[in-house]
A and B are shown apart, each in its own frame.
Chain A
């Protein structure tokens, strides 16, 4: 499993597979940190923190810095608006879809329809908020149908097999254990 981390602790950043870059915060210092550690990064738009970056800014930034994965624009617990925003994103940057993840939001809506739409738009990845329990049971179904899965905002104390996860960690040394646990998990449990 690929573990992305956003933290200020050097030990944690060294241990992580990748780092998280939040477009809404748009911090030059953090961009320098990512370059310093020479690690791939995940581009998030910051909607969960309440301030979402503009779609054109996300696209410009992604084309310039080439993240490993981009989270397509979404609204927390609103699948309809998420699909409208994602469609706009898809129309503007068809070249970035392969490295973008469509977000499955909201309660459930029509899970089959959402997956079909994302497939039609050319997504290979789907991102799932870790507190969206209405989707977590369906992770095996998504994997069975060839989807790569990213879990948004880790701290998920379950054992679902996913491809990547992001953890936002404050000034806390215990968090290092969490990073290590996520990294080792795939090896021990499979």
Chain B
């Protein structure tokens, strides 16, 4: 029996109701938790974000996940990337087009709408979707807190508003071994090469949330590549 707030190795399994749409090959579990944790901790601030300034608050938050320190102030969370039950992947094109159906004609004063530029510009984007039925993450953290946070998750991946990534159910299991960073010599997340003593391949990619921020990009061991963690480094809560 573990005490509340204690970190334990976990396996988080999502059962999906629809395919998952992605713009990056992986979903990072610490990124997901960071997003949900910020919304949970500071709901008012989260909903009043500035429109012109980039906010990178995630680094200031102490997530309910164990940290692995590989330098004085550098750490990665014990959280794996998504593991899908299928290798299939397809491409879909998402269109956004001005639709007069939703226009409030009483409020609109303009007689012409420019659809080639500005707010009503039409666009299309090609995205990959994966018809996965089951998605697994490994983590080391507080199961109660993680469960509470995941209750508010609307879906996995991109474009959940048009049907992708719908979650049927999820379950959190406590496991004996910690597979959140490395499992049987295979990296389960992006690990900076400073943190490993040997590796089979390296890629320039983000290693901490927010994963879209360029300052978080460095030479890393990509997920599912062979590597060996430096034993001198430590994990802390």
Contacts and interface: CB of A to CB of B under 8 A. Distances in A.
Interface of A: 108-113, 133-138, 140-141, 144, 155, 157-160
Interface in B74-121: 90-95, 97-101
A133 B162 contact: yes
Contacts of A157: 97-101
B51 interface: no
A86 B64 CA distance: 46
B28 interface: no
A108 B98 CA distance: 24
A138 B16 CA distance: 14
A110 B93 CA distance: 22
A138 B98 contact: no
Given A133-B163, A138-B18, A158 B90 contact: no
A111 B163 contact: yes
Nearest to A155: B101
Interface of B is mostly: mixed
Contact of B163 (A138, A155, A158, A159): A138
B164 A158 contact: no
Contacts of A137: 21, 92, 94, 159, 162-164
Contact of A110 (B19, B91, B124, B168): B168
A113 B129 CA distance: 18
Instruction: From B18, B98, B101, B133, name the one whose CB has the most chain A CB atoms within 10 angstroms.
Output: B18
B12 interface: no
B166 interface: yes
Nearest to A133: B162
Contacts of B124: 159
B97 A138 contact: no
Given A111-B166, A155-B101, A157-B99, 12 more contacts: A108-B17, A111-B18, A133-B161, A133-B162, A133-B163, A134-B161, A137-B159, A140-B129, A141-B18, A141-B90, A141-B129, A158-B99
Contact of A136 (B100, B101, B162): B162
A117 B94 CA distance: 27
Nearest to B169: A110
Contacts of B21: 137
Interface residues of B, number: 27
Interface of B: 16-19, 21, 90-95, 97-101, 124, 129, 131, 133, 159, 161-164, 166, 168
B99 A144 contact: no
A140 B19 CA distance: 11
Contacts of A159: 93, 95, 97, 124
Q: Give the top 4 A-B pairs by smallest Cβ distance, nearest first.
A: A137-B162, A157-B99, A140-B92, A111-B18
Given A140-B90, A157-B98, A158-B95, A135 B163 contact: yes
A179 B213 CA distance: 46
Contacts of B18: 108, 111-112, 138, 141
A138 B91 CA distance: 11
B129 to A, nearest CB: 7
Contacts of A135: 163
A79 to B, nearest CB: 11
B133 A112 contact: yes
Contacts of B133: 112
A13 B215 CA distance: 61
A112 B167 CA distance: 11
Nearest to B18: A111
A99 B68 CA distance: 59
A62 B86 CA distance: 41
Nearest to A145: B131
21 contacts: A109-B17, A110-B17, A110-B168, A111-B163, A112-B16, A112-B18, A134-B166, A136-B162, A137-B21, A138-B19, A138-B162, A138-B163, A141-B18, A141-B19, A141-B92, A141-B129, A157-B97, A158-B95, A159-B93, A159-B95, A159-B97
